[in-house]
Amino acid sequence: MNLDPANPLPYFGKTSHLELISTAMEAREGFNSGITPPPPSVNLLAAAQPFRRSPWEDEHFGSTKDLLTPLKFPEPDLLRDLVSLYFTLVNPLIFLLHQPTFEQSLADGLHLVDHDFGCTVLALCALASRCSDDPRVLLSVLYNNKMLGSSRDSSWAQVGLGLQCLQEVGVHRRNRFPDKYILEAWKRVFWQLICMDTLASAFTTRPMAMSASDYDTDYPAECDDDDEWWYSPDPTALPKRANPSLASYTIAYLKLIEILAMAQKTLYLVKESEKPQGWPQNAVAAVDSALNAWIDELPEHLRWNQDIQNPTFAAQSATLHARYYGIQIHTHRIFIPSLTNKMEPSLLHDYPSLAICASSARACSHVMNAFVSRGSGAVYYPLTFNAVFDSALVLLLHVWSAPRNRQQGQLSVDRHKCLQDVELCLRVFRFYETKWQIAGFHLDMITGLIGTANTPELPTNVTENSLKRSADSMHTQQSHSNSEGSTAFSLPMHTDDLGRMPVYEPFNFNWDVDSSSTYSDGLGWDSGDWSNALTSVDELISVLDNPAPSDTY
């Protein structure tokens, strides 16, 4: 998107030097002429002259048309298929592009004459290509390996740069643009970057580029792309829609991301002087309260039910619940002791954090396993990989901490069922590893961690090389899981439910796993292995601080 040429003035806040200059100019006009000073906008335009490019800059650098790389688009039939896949599988989860506007611009051939829109079309094709089985979407091996790459750090920097560009336009402030089409387009871009920035911050524990106190822009409108809202001169006069909106997911997801941002700002503080009295108990309680309110307000059509008929609502529901349980883990793992995280005994007693994390991990693993068992329409799913990965780690911690917990009189562990749930997490990654590099990376990390432990009786289907698995065997496992485990289950929702209940009984999802999996209860662990387990986890986390090339946050 570009700043409207008719309104080229960048955004400056009320405390900026530009505003002070404008105020001085108003006072000067009134003093000199005794007449009403010109409107503030006129003064701002005049005061902004030093901030604009000089004529010689426009002459030499203003036009980059000759420097633009020519764009090569897919064949027309492939382009149509990719656009359809994007708006069916991808856009309902990131809610970025307005479908009617995009498709009309594409039909008009705008991508052939407008380089910026052409780049947007190619970006759409890149995202949709992961959902396509057409071999034409594949790059040549040499070009793919030698010319391209991906990195979390580079994408993290790009997100921060994007947010700064949006601040220059003023998108972070409410009602900056009078045209609702332009306003909604900007808001969608802004909120997606906020999501990416928050998720990157949570993964790396680095500061966010923008916090909630830095912006006051509204959420995107809760209306679908084909709603009358877009064409009505008075949207408030429209009757309430009868069917659930796809956009309801967007609002729920943004609220959930804001809770994650709150957890980042209040729980993971750097300066000891900023930790108030009662930290971190009060901070955790505030996050728990926000999470409980969020789950209570979740629209009915987005509440998880494995029998959801609408595939888009199923994908949205699975995304929300996986993220919800992932944030529960992210919030309460601060109380899980390790070699580098020493906690006071009173905190460990007051907060059943390992139980909350383990119950959340179970719920996340079962939701995602049930979702991928649907098979079709479940290809684009990077938004939950970190939650599933954290769930697998927590479940392994739960197994390996069993001797220590028994010594302290804490909860017991059903290792057999716990490892079954780890297998569900691995299933999710196996389902996606042919499409997403990060899924295979997570799978290899978990299987590698299991392989280094003293667990010789784990079945080979857990620890074998993930790349040797065939897609046919994976679909067979999913069909078996879906048919044998079709009994509906009730998910634990509130934090109190997650912490109060036994991790495995009576919380029974009744999901069957591969019949060839024969886990042993005697895993050969004793109390001396606890330190080794935590050392392995700490080493794993250190590796994740400098991860391999990946696809997304």
Of the residues 195, 221, 247, the one at which a domain ends? 221
pLDDT band at residue 417 under the 50/70/90 scheme: confident
Residue 146, domain member (yes or no)? no
Is the residue at 482 inside a domain? yes
Per-residue pLDDT at 483 exceeds 50: no
Verify that 408 and 502 share a domain, yes or no. yes
71 is a domain residue: no
Residue 357 falls inside a structural domain? yes
Same domain, 212 and 360: no
Task: State whether 116 and 177 are in the same domain.
Answer: no
Q: Lowest-confidence range among 264-278, 307-321, 462-476?
A: 462-476
Whether residue 80 is found in the same domain as residue 174: no
Range of the domain at 6: 1-50
Range of 25-39, 47-61, 106-120 with top mean pLDDT: 106-120
- Write the DSSP string, 422-457: HHHHHHHHHHHTTT-HHHHHHHHHHHHHHHHSS-TT
407 in any annotated domain: yes
What pTM did the predictor assign?
0.77
Kindly report, residue by residue over 520-544, the tens digit of the pLDDT: 333 333 333 334 444 444 444 444 4
- Residue 277 is assigned to a structural domain of this protein: no
Instruction: Indicate the number of domains in the chain.
Output: 4
Give the whole-number percent of the chain exceeding pLDDT 70.
Answer: 61
The reply to whether 458 and 477 lie within a common domain is: yes
257: in domain: no
The verdict on 20 and 165 lying in the same domain is no
Mean pLDDT for 43-52 is 53
pLDDT surpassing 70 at residue 418: yes
Cα 355 to Cα 23, 339, 401, 495, 536: the distances in Å are 59, 19, 11, 10, 21
Nearest one of 505, 489, 498, 507 to 359, comparing CA atoms: 498
Q: For residue 286, tell me if it sits in a domain.
A: no
Among 95, 112, 141, the domain-final residue is 141
Q: Are residues 350 and 437 in the same domain?
A: yes
pLDDT band at 152 (very low <50, low <70, confident <90, very high): low
Q: What is the mean pLDDT of residues 302-331?
A: 93
> Looking at the structure, do residues 399 and 530 belong to the same domain, yes or no?
yes
Q: Distance of CA 279 to CAs 266, 332, 339, 350, 357, Å?
A: 9, 13, 21, 13, 20
Residues 356 and 444 in one domain: yes
327-382 pLDDT tens trace: 999 998 887 766 455 555 555 445 577 788 889 999 999 999 999 988 765 666 77
CA angle (153 as vertex; 151, 156 as ends), nearest 5: 110
Closest CA to 371 of 418, 416, 325, 417: 325
Percent of the chain with pLDDT over 90: 36
57: Cβ contacts below 8 Å, ≥ 6 apart: none
Amino acid letter, residue 488 = A
- Mean pLDDT computed over every residue of the chain: 74
d(CA 477, CA 54): 65
Co-location of 21 and 121 in the same domain: no
- Are residues 135 and 23 both part of a single domain? no
Question: What mean pLDDT do residues 178-206 have?
Answer: 90
Sign of the dihedral defined by the CA atoms of residues 281, 284, 290, 291, in that order? negative
Choosing from 101, 119, 141, the residue where a domain stops is: 141
Same structural domain, 495 and 402:
yes
